[in-house]
Structure 1
Amino acid sequence: MDFETTFIAQVITVIGFAVGLSIVVASGRYPRHIRGSLRAYSYGKFLLGSAFLIAGYRGGQAPELLIPLANGIGLAGLSMNYTSVRHLQNRPVWPFVPAAVGAAVGLSCLLLLFVGGGIGWVRVLVSFATSAVLLVIAFEVLVRYQGRGIPHYVTGLLCASLAVVYLVRMSAGMAQEDAPATYMLDDRVERATFLLSLLGTVIGAINYVLMASDEFNRELSKLAHTDGLTGALNRRRLFEMGEVEFRRARRYGRELTVLVLDIDRFKSINDHAGHPFGDRVIRAVADCCTGQIRHEDALGRIGGEEFAILLPETGAEAGRMLAERLRGAIERQLAQLGAEAGVTVTCSIGGVSLTREHSEFSDLMAQSDTALYDAKHAGRNQVRFFPEAAHPVPMPA
């Protein structure tokens, strides 16, 4: 069945408004950055629907003005998809980009119509701009997006495919003879482009909701596994990872070191400077630790002012060196923060490295706690390691 472009434009209008309304209503359930992403996406669909509505009913009503208006609004709506992807990643968003893109396209179309470029060159310009925006969205989703899943790949490939479709439309515009501006173009390329845009609108909306759901699940997982104050792992997640690393190290004869860190005289810091300042100290210690350890290491908050650090592939000597580096970094980097409240911020660290004598991960935690108490009793702001057994874990040849 060969539909006219005006009819397809009307269908895209209805679907665009329906999708936009559905998503904006459903967005209220989600966290702030996901909600912002879904709303940006839905506003883009409203703009896109409005653009096709104007384009489909411009007959006899100043088409020289309505054509730039429709194309400008349509490109602004498409650019909102880029904004929504940035929102979904919790990345910086430039809110005026869609308006700037729409205004630039609209003014360029107006100039082409009045200077003498004609409908064909308007078609070329709009097709090129649409392809460019679609390719930018595809790059953002396929390359820059962290934690991509199947919906992300489908969305990115869909955008790239539609970009190719609009490049074909651009080529058709170059070869097209001048046509009246009163009605929409109705050749095979235009109908195919509109039909594929309709299909892309439906599939794209489904995939975008799936992308938002993936991000929401990731957010829930983060809330379940991390400490809300510091962003470090919570106690349960750290112990889960500790069990995994312990079994791996025992099975393959690898090294493993555990550090337990406690902020010295933290109760007096709270009593002297107040709990909000105490929270700042805890966050600062966590940030300092994160800056000193490797990506494969794991930092967890296991108590009020107590942290534990898992150091896979790290022996006793390297563990001692890191612990001493951590202790010194906290003493130096938090000196200015402590001076704000007239307190001194230091830490004591206890550690232990895996040996044959350890049968459970809890043994490592208990012995690192013992070493921590030794450091406390020795005067604080020190590093102590639990005495090593006579038979260390053999390393593979």
Structure 2
Amino acid sequence: MDFETTFIAQVITVIGFAVGLSIVVASGRYPRHIRNSLRAYAYGKFLLGFGFLIAGLRGSAAPDLLVPLANGLGITGLAMNYTSVRHLQSRPVSPLAPAAVGLAVAVACLLLLFVDAGIASVRTLVSFTTAAVLLGIAFEVLVRYEGRGIPHYVTGVLCATLAMVYLVRMGAGLTQEETPTAYMLDDRVERTTFLLTLLGTVTGAINYVLMASDEFNRELAKLAHTDGLTGSLNRRRLFEMGEIEFRRARRHGRDLTVLVLDIDRFKSINDRAGHPFGDRVIQAVADCCAGQIRREDAMGRIGGEEFAILLPETGLEAGRLLAERLRSAIERQLAQLGAEGGVTVTCSIGGVSLTREHSEFSDLMAQSDSALYDAKHAGRNQVRFFPTVSLTPALHA
């Protein structure tokens, strides 16, 4: 065997093991989906390292069996790197898919050697499969990944570049002369491919850790900004966004409506059905509201059973209609849940739309609270806007 190509394979083996071990050790402090992603990536590097280790051992007692084994392990490891990207995005992942892909490649290599198709055919098959998986990773991080940053773009471009390299290697496999199976190929294309694979292993690992760190930071921000029970914004974040939307609306002369929603007689719901049931009611109300508002709207839990909703680009009449739609949807959709606990679940809503007289976002919150107070005192299960206008007749719930 040529020492140079074998040496590169050995270096890839060492780096693959080192990267895998380091990431496994570091993965323990991350949330579950990030931890699963890092471990899938690390195990992929272990398998890739084993694949190159076996490739460097060719020429032993069973060379024909080592070729499919080495390639099968390498492809399995690369496929696990693909699944690690999907783990990072919390997308569905089949745990057996990488092994199935690797096994299919190994069996195909074995069949090619069995029919005496030659090592060039194996090189073509493996190069094509490798390029396909690399392009799959590039597609995931460059197209489907939400909240992409510099590490994602670097990873995607790197994978796409390596895919092109392996396609060139595939072309070389179609034109090369036959080589004994026991020997590792050592032409210019092979050496270039191995060197770029080595570079990709190092650079890819660094960027993948940065991708995981970005995801971890987003997870921390989500925990800091959202309510643990409902998944909606917490009070602090809602008010921060309210200030931003208020300044934007004032600066550009845009509409802005604020709604404050309170679950009617929530204390009696807790007293009669218990606090766990009360939590279910709060969650159900939040889910119902989330299903009625637009993506650009924002909803936050600002008290125990109280929510606020920001409606950018929404004027008085549109705000009233949405508020009534929310009130009606909660009354209708939560009727069955209320029946389970022997209670009635309704809500009262107060709202206000931005005018020139408003100088602070806190003015909107104070006036929507005032409108909510009027809705409560008028009989609950109503919508009132400031200045107080009744949209629905009083319904005692």
Question: For the superposition of Structure 1 and Structure 2, which TM-score range results when normalised by the shorter chain?
Answer: over 0.9
Matched, 1:218 2:218: yes
Q: Distance in 2 between matches of 1:388 and 1:372?
A: 9
- After TM superposition, the runs of 4+ consecutive aligned structure 1 residues lying more than 6 A away are none
Which residue is 2:110 aligned to? 110
Which position in structure 1 is the counterpart of 2:182?
Answer: 182
Give the distance between the partners of 1:292 and 1:384, measured in 2 at CA.
Answer: 19
Q: Which residue of 1 aligns with 2:267?
A: 267
Q: What RMSD, in angstroms, separates the aligned Cα atoms of the two structures?
A: 1.2
The one-letter code sitting in structure 1 at the alignment partner of 2:214 is D
Q: Which moved more, 1:83-92 or 1:356-365?
A: 356-365
1:61 offset after TM fit, Å?
2.3
Secondary structure of the corresponding residue to residue 229 of structure 1: coil
In the alignment of these two chains, the number of paired residues is 388
Q: Supply the distance in 2 between the matched residues of 1:74 and 1:353 (Cα, whole angstroms).
A: 61
Tell me if the contact between 2:13 and 2:49 (Cα under 8 Å) persists in the aligned partners: yes
Measured in 2, the distance between the counterparts of 1:128 and 1:250 equals 57
Unaligned runs of 5+ in 2: 390-397
The Cα shift of 1:3 comes to 6.5
Q: Does 1:159 align with 2:159?
A: yes
Please list the CA deviations of residues 24-64 of structure 1 after superposition, one character each: whole Å capped at 9, or x if unmatched. 00011111111110000000000000000011012122111
User: 1: distance between equivalents of 2:178 and 2:3?
Assistant: 23
The corresponding residue for 2:393 is none
In structure 1, what is the equivalent of residue 232 of structure 2?
Answer: 232
Q: Which residue of 1 aligns with 2:310?
A: 310
CA distance in 2, matches of 1:388, 1:325: 18
For the residues of structure 2 that align with 1:150 and 1:3, how far apart are their CA atoms? 37
Distance 1:212 1:9 in 2: 27
Aligned runs of 1:351-366 on 2, under 5 Å? 351-366=351-366
Letter of the structure 2 residue corresponding to residue 318 of structure 1: A
Distance 1:212 1:312 in 2: 33
Distance across 2 between alignment mates of 1:139 and 1:251? 40
Structure 1: gaps (5+ residues): 390-397
By how many angstroms is 1:243 displaced? 0.9
State, as a whole percentage, how many aligned pairs show the same letter. 85
The question of whether the paired residues in 1 share the 8 Å contact of 2:44 and 2:77 is answered with yes
Other structure's SS at 1:4 match: helix
Instruction: Check whether the contact 1:245–1:312 (CA below 8 A) recurs between aligned residues.
Output: yes
TM-score after normalising by structure 2 = 0.96
Aligned residue number for residue 168 of structure 2: 168
Q: Could you report, residue by residue, the CA deviation over 1:108-142 in whole angstroms, capped at 9, with x for unpaired residues? A: 00000001211000000000000000001110110
Amino acid at match of 2:344: T
8 A Cα contact 1:119 1:181, kept in partner: yes
> 2:88 maps to which residue?
88
Deviates more, 1:34-43 or 1:174-183: 174-183
**Paired AA for residue 167 in structure 2:** L
The alignment partner of 2:349 has SS state of strand
**How big is the shift at 1:194?**
0.3
Post-superposition shift, 1:252? Answer: 2.1
The match for 1:284 is 284
* 8 Å contact kept, 1:3–1:191: no
* Separation of aligned partners in 1, 2:243 and 2:353: 14
Give 1:395's aligned residue. Answer: none
Give, in angstroms, the shift of residue 174 of structure 1: 0.6
- Displacement of 1:388: 7.6
CA distance in structure 2 between the aligned counterparts of 1:212 and 1:85, rounded to whole angstroms? 9
Q: Does the 8 A contact of 1:75 with 1:101 survive in 2?
A: yes
Counterpart AA for 1:325? R
CA contact (8 A) 1:352 1:364 kept: yes
Q: Indicate conservation of the 8 Å contact 1:258/1:353, yes or no.
A: yes
- Secondary structure at 1:381 match in 2: coil
CA distance in 2, matches of 1:349, 1:364: 14
After TM superposition, the structure 1 stretch with the greater mean CA deviation from structure 2, 5-14 or 52-61, is 52-61
> Where does 1:1-397 land on structure 2 (aligned, <5 Å)?
4-387=4-387
TM (norm. structure 1) is: 0.96
What SS class does the counterpart of residue 178 from structure 1 fall into? coil
Instruction: State the Cα deviation string for residues 185-223 of structure 1 (Å, max 9, x = none).
Output: 111111110000000000000000000010011111111
